[in-house]
Amino acid sequence: MATRRTILTRSLAAAVVAVSLSGCGGANDDLRSYIDQIKARPGGRIEPLPQVQPAPTFVYEAGPRRSPFVPDAPQRRARTGPGAVDGPDPNRPREFLEQFPLDTLRMVGTLADRRASFGLVQTNDLLVHRVTVGNHMGQNYGRIVKISDSQIQLVEIIPDGLGGFLERPAAIALAD
């Protein structure tokens, strides 16, 4: 009886598979006939590419005119506008924390001894660096002017857009 049941179950499963697969055929007949129609059309002629005309040449003869590759006036940093300051010292060696934008640095604490107080600044790689007044950090030549228990105050030197520079206060607050 068990073998008869097994044979009946297998036959029923085969019938179900055969019926479900019969629905898969013939669904693409209209697509195949459309493709055959397109393939039966005669091939078209491809138009040749248009002739490329070379650009006209121009010879620049300066004569008494100025060179277009040299600025009118010599470039120099000038104090312009109210609050303008001298630019950053190009000969000062850059400090390690000057490679990071200020918004990626976090103040994580302070240290103090008899001589000075230090700020503890953490970078994105979770390394903690000790800074003191006079150190530089941030990408805008930020110079530390004050360290308190709650923040590190800096003065940044930024371009004013007119060839000069301005000082801008900035601060990094103690992280929560």
- The residue extents of the domains of the chain are 101-173
Q: Which of 28-37, 63-72, 116-125, 136-145 has the lowest mean pLDDT?
A: 63-72
In this prediction the pTM is 0.54
Query: How does pLDDT run across 91-130, given as a tens digit for each residue?
Result: 999 999 999 999 999 999 999 988 889 999 999 999 999 9
Class of domain 101-173 (CATH, top level): mainly beta
Query: How does pLDDT run across 32-55, given as a tens digit for each residue?
Result: 889 899 888 888 888 899 999 999
56-83: burial string, b at 16+ Cβ within 10 Å, e else: eeeeeeeeeeeeeeeeeeeeeeeeeeee
Give me the pLDDT at residue 16, please: 78
What number of CA atoms fall less than 13 Å from residue 101's CA on the CB side?
A: 2
